[in-house]
Amino acid sequence: MWCKQHRAVGRMFTRTVNTGSSHAATFSAISLLVLLGSVHRVDGKRHVSGGSCQPLTVTVCQAFGYKETLVPNALHRGSQSDADREIGEYTFPITLGCSPYLKFFLCSFYLPECSEGQTLLPCRSLCEKARSGCESLLNKHGHEWPKAFACQSFPEESCTREDSRFEGLSAKEVHSRLAKTSYMVGDEALSLETSRTLVSLMDTDESGTITVEELRELEKHVLRWRTVFASLDRRQMGFMSLDQLRAQLLSVGVLLSPESSNAVWQRYGSEKGMRYNEFVACVTRLRSLTDAFKRRLLNGLPCVCEVAGFRYDEFIRETIP
């Protein structure tokens, strides 16, 4: 419970925003910056302490790879479930993808990584990258960037940086990020194998991992096809038909022969139909192969046709993932 002076300067704003569709969202933020006075200083740097390390249980923050957090801490006096609710107030800007750093910043603020009873504040640069894009979204709907997140108040050294969790995300880490409701259809989540296929599509340098920018594109790709599948599965049976698959592929310029369509269906479909996970894997793999084919188109052929040229090792790399 805040003392009287904390309550006097703390503020909460809540507003229902009509996005122009059937969706509505509630923004809510509590100014906790007044609590920074109780942050301990070590060698001139601010380190959050005052609690004890405990296993991290909040799913949205588990995606960033650390196992323990510090609660209560100087920035957040409540429990992990309290912090989860606070982070949940930002579902609307997170879902819109105004900044790929927003979730990591919120987790670093409310549930920082803990080691031996101590942890660090988010860096100023992490705050600024989270604010970039999201501040204009808040302004558009009549709000300011929360004073609790005043970026100039965060340190520049001995702090949690924006690149500490985002560079080189593996398929396993991506799978953890996708295992939540916004990327699911009903109770069906994407598998680790499908996450590997998604990473392969976005992995432009063939490192086996993706950057935060690539992750953002990956999430947009998944949300697009999730929306498509949900719109086709109106009766919520959990399946789509071969004709529906053909229509969706045609809509993005993928025209398959009956023989190729049947081969794809044999790989990803079943007697009942094609499930959401297999649908995402299918359209992702076909996009990857189509992009590879177009990059290697041969010119000057004596026919009205499209033929691509692959070296053997190139062919293996493109078809194995």
Considering the chain, what percentage of its residues have pLDDT values greater than 90? 30
Domain containing residue 260: CATH number: 1.10.238.10
Euclidean distance between CA atoms 37 and 33, whole angstroms:
8
In this structure, is residue 160 part of a structural domain?
no
* 3-class SS string, 173-241: HHHHHHCCHHHCECCECCCHHHHHHHHHHHCCCCCCCECHHHHHHHHHHHHHHHHHHHHHCCCCCCCEC
pLDDT, one tens digit per residue, over 203-221 is: 877 778 887 778 878 988 9
- For residues 130 and 244, state if they share a domain: no
pLDDT at 16 over 70: no
- For residues 194 and 310, state if they share a domain: yes
Q: Are 131 and 149 in contact (CB under 8 A)?
A: yes
Q: Which two tokens stand for residue 250?
A: 């045609």
| Mean predicted confidence (pLDDT) in 193-210 | 87
Strand order in the sheet with 45-48: 40-42, 45-48, 119-120
- For residues 303 and 209, state if they share a domain: yes
Number of domains in the chain: 2
pLDDT at 187 over 60: yes
Euclidean distance between CA atoms 124 and 156, whole angstroms:
6
- The pLDDT score that the predictor gives to residue 165 is 61
Q: Which residue has the higher pLDDT, 316 or 165?
A: 316
- The pLDDT score that the predictor gives to residue 210 is 85
- For residues 225 and 145, state if they share a domain: no
- For residues 245 and 136, state if they share a domain: no
Q: Of 20-34, 40-54, 104-118, where does mean pLDDT reach its minimum?
A: 20-34
Residue 222 belongs to domain spanning:
171-319
pLDDT, one tens digit per residue, over 303-313 is: 888 888 888 88
Which residue is it, tokens 């894997």?
Answer: 281
Residue of 117, 100, 222, 214 lying closest to 162 (CA atoms): 100
Q: Are 70 and 64 in contact (CB under 8 A)?
A: no
Mean pLDDT score of the chain, rounded to an integer? 78
pLDDT at 285 over 70: yes
In this structure, is residue 190 part of a structural domain?
yes
Q: Which two tokens stand for residue 132?
A: 């970039």
pLDDT at 270 over 80: yes
Strand partners, 274: 240
Euclidean distance between CA atoms 252 and 247, whole angstroms:
9
Q: Which residue has the higher pLDDT, 226 or 75?
A: 226
pLDDT, one tens digit per residue, over 152-180 is: 999 888 888 877 665 567 888 889 888 87
Residue 122's CB is within 10 A of a number of other CB atoms, namely: 26
| Mean predicted confidence (pLDDT) in 49-70 | 80
Euclidean distance between CA atoms 106 and 86, whole angstroms:
9
In this structure, is residue 55 part of a structural domain?
yes
In this structure, is residue 251 part of a structural domain?
yes
Sequence-distant (6+) residues with CB within 8 A of 263 are none
- For residues 209 and 283, state if they share a domain: yes
Listed in order, strand segments (DSSP E) in 63-133 are 68-71, 119-120
pLDDT at 143 over 50: yes
pLDDT at 191 over 50: yes
- For residues 149 and 194, state if they share a domain: no
Q: Residue 199: which pLDDT band, with cuts at 50, 70 and 90? A: very high
CA-based torsion, 216, 33, 155, 115: positive or negative: negative
| Mean predicted confidence (pLDDT) in 53-72 | 84
In this structure, is residue 265 part of a structural domain?
yes
pLDDT, one tens digit per residue, over 232-263 is: 988 889 999 999 999 999 998 888 999 999 99
Residue 121, φ and ψ in degrees, nearest 5: -75, 160
Q: Which residue has the higher pLDDT, 206 or 112?
A: 112
pLDDT at 28 over 50: no
In this structure, is residue 65 part of a structural domain?
yes
CA contacts within 13 A on the Cβ side of 142: 10
Which long-range contacts (C-beta less than 8 Å, at least 24 apart) are formed by 81-89?
A: 83/58, 83/110, 83/111, 84/58, 84/60, 86/30, 86/110, 87/58, 87/60, 87/61, 87/111, 89/26, 89/27, 89/28, 89/29
Q: Residue 43: which pLDDT band, with cuts at 50, 70 and 90? A: very low
* Most confident segment among 46-55, 73-82, 182-191, 197-206: 182-191
| Mean predicted confidence (pLDDT) in 118-142 | 88
Q: Which residue has the higher pLDDT, 108 or 115?
A: 108
Euclidean distance between CA atoms 102 and 3, whole angstroms:
29
- For residues 123 and 31, state if they share a domain: yes
Q: What value, to the nearest 5°, has the Cα angle with vertex 197 and ends 60 and 162? A: 40
Q: Are 159 and 127 in contact (CB under 8 A)?
A: no
Q: Of 48-62, 118-132, 273-287, where does mean pLDDT reach its minimum?
A: 48-62
The pTM assigned to this predicted structure is: 0.53
Domain containing residue 94: CATH number: 1.10.2000.10
Q: Of 29-33, 54-58, 84-88, where does mean pLDDT reach its minimum?
A: 29-33
State which H helix or E strand residue 25 sits in.
strand 24-30
- The pLDDT score that the predictor gives to residue 280 is 97
In this structure, is residue 14 part of a structural domain?
yes
- The pLDDT score that the predictor gives to residue 284 is 95
Residue of 100, 137, 180 lying closest to 15 (CA atoms): 137
In this structure, is residue 145 part of a structural domain?
yes
Q: End of a domain among 120, 153, 186?
A: 153
